[in-house]
Structure 1
Amino acid sequence: MRRFLREHSLTLVFGGLFLAALVGQFFAGHADFNERQAALGQPLLSLGQYLFSADFLVDVAENWQSEYLQFFLYVTATVWLIQRGSPESKPADKVGRGTEKDQQIGQYATESSPKWARAGGWRTAVFSRSLGTAMLVLFLFSWTTQWIAGWYANNSDPLAEKTGLGEYFFSSDFWNRSLQNWQSEFLAIASMAILSVYLRQRGSSESKPVGAAHSVSDESG
């Protein structure tokens, strides 16, 4: 058990932080929602009612979709785009999809390679793009959930103009929710890419070794 916890500590710790933050958001969001309802003379919601409300769902979904968009763009863009000196980037001579030898597929697959990496054909082609595909599917699912929940929450607001689902997709409320999250994700990626060129975090896989030259792109600490 101790070995399992150690070997999976990154996922377990951040999974725990996610759940703690989600619970905190739920209680804070419930209190904020009822304060606004009280100010408008509208009925308050119990904790159970708020848990399954469109207001809570849209707040959660709009954050999730931006995170998955960030990772989808990041894992696909870094195939071709580089930042010299960043450990988040490949060196310039490795831009592109890589050779079969680099990727350990085809005749270069080993016995320990994943089954679909050894299979060849369409299965290897699908597996070769599975991470980006998964992130794209999760983004589209979360964004669609935000769209539908946001539309329902908007139409439940007595002060908001009622719209159809298609109309809501082009509304300022929907795009404000989306873009305010997207811009922060894009800023975070750009900041990490450039700051990791010149700054270090000893022992982190996201950082170069402390003594590595600023121009080195593909060494980890």
Structure 2
Amino acid sequence: MATKRTGFLQENGLSLVLVAFMALSLAGQVLTGQAAYNDERVHDGARALALGEYLQSGHFVSAIFENWESEFLQMGLYVLLTVRLRQKGSAESRPMDPALEQERIDDGPTPWPVTMGGWCLKLYGHSLSTVLGLLFLLSFWLHLEGSWRHELEERAVKGELPISLWTHFTDAQFWFESFQNWQSEFLAVFALVVLSIWLRQKDSPQSKPVEAPHSQTGA
């Protein structure tokens, strides 16, 4: 039976729409963030920043990567936790009985690390969590660096002395910025895991079939 041909948009619709939503949201964040930050600066007697200057400011860098770090932390931990842990009845969990698991491998070229075997295959087998972990660490560092520069900018406007990066890192405000995002990400994943036990979304791979019993684990 011949396979139905699909176009680029159909094959990549999910990622394209998500990128579009991200780009629109990012544009909104840039414009509103610049306006809000300039209001603060003018109120404190400093000059307003042009768009290019704002994009290089600690305020913008910190705000961007403060959120990105929590996203990558959430996804990375979720990928790792679902390897060993189960949740009965959840569409987001592997089946309770390993004997019920079946790997689906469609026809097509095998990824080259699988063909190579050895350390290439081992690394490839953990590549998703590894890259998510590295993205988290990079985002965490950029959040820290941007947040520190933002505090230096604020202290300069107020005529206060600068502080070291280490002092900023050990300050409660920096960790408050991180924890307030981390807890919301874990709450969102928890809600998806638990709500998928009883609730359904027809045709979504994140949901069990509409007719599936609540006790069924996995999609």
* Amino acid paired to 1:169: F
Code of the aligned partner of 2:112: K
Deviation string 1:60-101 (CA, Å, 9 cap, x unpaired) is 010111100011001111001111111110012239xx9xx9
Which runs of 5 or more residues in structure 2 are unaligned?
none
- TM-score of the aligned structures, taking structure 2 as reference length: 0.90
* 2:119 equivalent to 1:115: no
d(CA) in 1 for partners of 2:128, 2:84: 16
Q: Name the counterpart of 1:107.
A: none
1:36 deviates by 1.0
Q: 2:143 aligns with which of 135, 143, 146?
A: 146
2:199 counterpart residue number: 199
| Residue aligned with 2:210, SS | coil
Q: Kindly provide the amino acid, as one letter, of the partner of residue 62 in structure 2.
A: V
Aligned-pair RMSD on alpha carbons? 2.1
Residue 20 (structure 2) pairs with residue 23 (structure 1): no
The percent identity for this pair of structures is 38
State the partner residue of 1:46. 50
Distance of aligned partners of 1:190 and 1:199 in 2 relative to their CA distance in 1, 3 Å threshold: same
Counterpart among 1, 10, 24 of residue 6 in structure 1: 10
Partner of 2:59: 55
Under a length normalisation based on structure 1, what TM-score does the superposition of the two structures give?
0.89
Q: In terms of mean alpha carbon deviation, does 37-46 or 8-17 score higher?
A: 37-46
Give the Cα–Cα distance (whole angstroms) in 1 for the partners of residues 108 and 154 of structure 2: 59
2:82 alignment partner in structure 1:
78
**Structure 1 residues 161 and 170, CA, compared in 2 at 3 Å: closer, same or farther?**
farther
In the comparison of the two structures, how many residue pairs are matched?
Answer: 210
Aligned-pair distance for 1:111?
Answer: 6.9
Residue identity opposite 2:95 in structure 1: P
In 2, Cα distance between equivalents of 1:203 and 1:111: 25
Structure 1 residues 215 and 140, CA gap change in structure 2 (3 angstroms): same
The 3 A distance-change label for structure 1 pair 111 and 59 is closer
Distance 1:188 1:18 in 2: 18
